[in-house]
Structure 1
Amino acid sequence: MNTKRNLGAFKLWSASVLPVTLVILSNISFVILIYFNQQYLDWDQLNYLNVGMSVAILVFFIFLIYEALRPVKLETPLEEENLPFISLILPIYNEEKHIFDVLTSIIASNYPFEKIELILINDGSTDNTLAEIRRFTDHTNADVKLINFSQNSGKKAGLVAGFKIARNEVILTIDSDTFLLPDSIRKLVGTMDSSIDAICGHTLVKNEKINLLTRLQGYEYLLSHELFKSFEAGYNGVLCCPGCFSAFRKSALMEVIDEFERSVIFNYRVDYGEDRYLTALLLKNNKKVVYTGVAVAYTVVPETLSSFVIQRKRWIKSWFVNTLYLFGLARHKSFIYQVYFYLSFIFNLLIISSIPLFIYFAFTLNWNFLLHGLYMVVLYIIFTLLNQGKIRLIMPLIFYVFTLGIYSWLVPLAIGNISDHRWGKRAG
């Protein structure tokens, strides 16, 4: 068996673990101070607590990266005659700008042309999307099925319609702004052995170099896949197979399709984060959900702050609801996976307290908190500049400062609007 270490995760060590650890440590320290004020603990005792938590958290992240670096199996490429027939489902809404190029990238794949069933769902587009789809179908002999919704019904409705009519066991899903490489489909399917029920590939940002916001999202995607999904895959429990580039077994999907179509969790209708919810349903049914870094695709991320916030409204609501939904499931996983699952949930919630508590404690209790934070920032900048002038290493610091600033108000706002089905809902 050929194996390969996930060196991408190793490269993230110097650029990720330090700022992540510092941010999380600061969050926990601030929360502890709420409960253990000066009347209970003096500053020396608090410092001992900080050191202890620092060591514990650092050990956790070292193990996280160690797990992500474990050798992974490299599937032997299948001969063309052994490649399975596949159904590729693509919901589309108002994507006249990208859709023709996206469809062209599918046909340009080195996957056997005659083994791809292409199911396109035009979800009530109001621009020239349908005309662009027609332009594509008029110039190809591909096996294309086109479903036209008279009005926008949402991505979930499009996926359900596609799942039901797909005639093949292996089903791929991509978004209307996903761009495939020639070998993307072949590598994703080639990694999906008979024991795997769902698998997601490695998604990179196509428009990463547009501005600082897109660069930050590029780093976020890299960290999410190379580190976190790699770790989760080691326990067959990837928490989200993104709709932009994933593959599923139809037999597994049919077991959960009724629940997926109803989309009700804790008596709330879930109109957001359909990819995370679908993954949660599969995990609840004890399905094997993994990630592979050898199959790569590109997606387009928001380029403006307003569109970024709208997207993250949906993502945060989906993350919160589906994580609670999976709380019971995590108990049946290994101890390490449980630690990862629950601590990740807690750390994400603590983000909302970072900015206000940092300001409060810095200016009302002890200036050491502010000075300590600035000291660490200066050290990190010096480290970056001395590391062969690789200024890009400062991106993690910028990313986490940006994350704290945005999520400190966006997380509570999103959670507070979970029952509002209009708030944060996307069209298509």
Structure 2
Amino acid sequence: MFIFIISIVLLLISGFPYLYYLLGIKFGKKTLPVTVLNEDQYPPVSVIISAYNEEKIIAERLENLIEGGYSLEKFELIFIDDNSSDNTKKLAESKLADLGVNYRIFSNDSRKGTNRSYNFALGIAENNIVVTTDANKFFEKDALRVLISRLLSDDRIAAVCAETKPFAKSAKERTGGMESVYRGFYGRMCDWESANDSTYNFNGSLVAFKKDIIGSIKENKGADDANTAFEAIRKGYRAAYVMDAVIYEKIPPNIHKQYKQKVRRAKRLIEATLSNLDLLGEKRIFSRRFYPVRIMMYVTSPFLFLLGTVLFFISLFIFNAIAATLLLVLLLLFVYAKKSSFISSFIINQIYLLLGLLNIRKDMRTWESTSV
């Protein structure tokens, strides 16, 4: 009985951050819809893309970027090929030459990763408004204009990011269904944080920031998106999540590819989280209400959830081995068959977070293409 009680307590503690955010999403403050700027109010922007082995989709991606509605006269594109082993650079250069955009293209002599590639591009970017975006994501029309409108709507905002969703086709697949549930909850969490102060849980798919405030991105630890947001917060500004600006990604249908992608993302998010603990001392809503709960969510909850689950089933086995075995089998079947349910998504993401923690010392600054 004692083991059972301990297991329930651990499971309740591990679930606290999620309950906290569920209540905040339901009853908390929401951000107002973005008021889109008039055409003549948009500033010139420098858009940075870092790509590795994206020959399958790079031409389509660049076309999508240019067709987003932003005036080409106010558009500078800096393309960094991160030492691809395929024809990414050649295809990108050919496509950019046809699109009539002001562009510069560079190749790294070895794998650098997004953080270092972005910092190189930041050093040569001509405009104060800088946009970083992935080579394998696709904008919804006007996503960039909505994002820039939000960035310029408040002088206290130094960085913004877009909402990322799986393509409709991907969302119907097993891996995409789970990601769709996760992204839906993730975005609303970030929106609540942004409405009150700031979020550092950015989507690297599309980020915009002010270069005179954020002059570089921390290279050695953490993801480029989270580090960009943290830099804004560290300078006393706000970092906001913009649900009105939508960008889509193709989710790998291959479980192995998605596993590697999710563990890498989890590890780099946790790394960024633990690299900025000094911000807990700041006298602002972010530092007092959100950051501590995020630390618990990413660092404490996965271990407590695993331990609580193990103790729970041990206590059931002691009481009734047959019933415990049956319940465990049913739970595994449910998670396998219903990956798009909130419960399954929660359990699987606890595993990814735990694996991210276990890989915290591993260098994951470079990545493999997940384009399909």
TM range (shorter): 0.7 to 0.9
SS at match of 2:360: coil
Match of 2:341 in 1: 395
1:87 aligned onto 2:87: no
Change (3 A) 1:307 1:140: same
* Per-residue deviation, 1:129: 0.8
* Per-residue deviation, 1:314: 1.8
| Cα deviation digits, residues 179-221 of structure 1 (max 9, x gap) | 0122111111111123210001111112524620121112211
* Per-residue deviation, 1:316: 2.5
Match of 2:108 in 1: 149
Mapping for residues 167-182 of structure 1, pairs under 5 Å: 167-182=126-141
* Per-residue deviation, 1:306: 1.3
SS at match of 1:314: helix
Mapping for residues 161-200 of structure 1, pairs under 5 Å: 161-192=120-151, 193=153, 194-200=155-161
1:328 aligned onto 2:278: yes
Query: Could you tell me which of 244, 247, 250 is aligned with 1:294?
Result: 244
Match of 2:253 in 1: 303
Match of 1:24 in 2: none
Contact kept, 8 Å, 2:7 with 2:308, in 1: the verdict is no
What CA distance in whole angstroms lies between the structure 2 residues aligned with 1:51 and 1:347?
9
Query: Could you tell me which of 173, 177, 182 is aligned with 1:211?
Result: 173
Q: Tell me which structure has the larger Cα radius of gyration.
A: 1
Contact kept, 8 Å, 1:155 with 1:427, in 2: the verdict is no
Once structures 1 and 2 are overlaid, which stretch shifts more, 81-90 or 240-249?
Answer: 240-249
SS at match of 2:138: strand
| Cα deviation digits, residues 111-153 of structure 1 (max 9, x gap) | 2121111111111111111221122123121111111223322
1:233 aligned onto 2:194: yes
Change (3 A) 1:66 1:168: same
Query: Could you tell me which of 208, 225, 241 is aligned with 1:247?
Result: 208
Once structures 1 and 2 are overlaid, which stretch shifts more, 345-354 or 117-126?
Answer: 345-354
Q: Which runs of 5+ in 2 are unaligned?
A: none
* Per-residue deviation, 1:412: 4.7
TM-score by length of 2: 0.83
Match of 1:29 in 2: none
Match of 1:415 in 2: 357
Mapping for residues 34-49 of structure 1, pairs under 5 Å: 37=2
Contact kept, 8 Å, 1:330 with 1:341, in 2: the verdict is no
Query: Amino acid of the residue matched to residue 139 of structure 2?
Result: L
Mapping for residues 108-119 of structure 1, pairs under 5 Å: 108-119=67-78
What CA distance in whole angstroms lies between the structure 1 residues aligned with 2:163 and 2:326?
37
What CA distance in whole angstroms lies between the structure 1 residues aligned with 2:54 and 2:11?
51
Query: Could you tell me which of 159, 163, 168 is aligned with 1:202?
Result: 163
1:362 aligned onto 2:304: no
What CA distance in whole angstroms lies between the structure 1 residues aligned with 2:92 and 2:103?
10
Query: Amino acid of the residue matched to residue 247 of structure 1?
Result: A
Among the aligned pairs, what percent are the same residue? 19
What CA distance in whole angstroms lies between the structure 2 residues aligned with 1:185 and 1:288?
19
Query: Amino acid of the residue matched to residue 146 of structure 2?
Result: K
* Per-residue deviation, 1:65: 1.6
Query: Amino acid of the residue matched to residue 420 of structure 1?
Result: K
* Per-residue deviation, 1:392: 8.9
Query: Could you tell me which of 9, 17, 20 is aligned with 1:60?
Result: 20
* Per-residue deviation, 1:411: 4.5
Mapping for residues 24-43 of structure 1, pairs under 5 Å: 37=2
What CA distance in whole angstroms lies between the structure 2 residues aligned with 1:400 and 1:52?
14
Contact kept, 8 Å, 1:314 with 1:425, in 2: the verdict is no
Contact kept, 8 Å, 2:317 with 2:325, in 1: the verdict is no
Match of 1:223 in 2: 185
What CA distance in whole angstroms lies between the structure 2 residues aligned with 1:55 and 1:209?
26
Q: Which runs of 5+ in 1 are unaligned?
A: 1-32, 264-269, 382-390
| Cα deviation digits, residues 258-307 of structure 1 (max 9, x gap) | x724x2xxxxxx3x523223333332332310111111111222221211
Change (3 A) 1:344 1:116: same
Change (3 A) 1:365 1:294: same
* Per-residue deviation, 1:364: 2.6
* Per-residue deviation, 1:46: 7.0
Contact kept, 8 Å, 1:94 with 1:125, in 2: the verdict is yes
Query: Amino acid of the residue matched to residue 279 of structure 1?
Result: A
1:344 aligned onto 2:294: no
TM-score by length of 1: 0.73
Match of 1:160 in 2: 119
What CA distance in whole angstroms lies between the structure 1 residues aligned with 2:255 and 2:315?
29
What CA distance in whole angstroms lies between the structure 1 residues aligned with 2:344 and 2:15?
24
Query: Amino acid of the residue matched to residue 102 of structure 1?
Result: R
Contact kept, 8 Å, 2:13 with 2:301, in 1: the verdict is no
SS at match of 2:99: coil
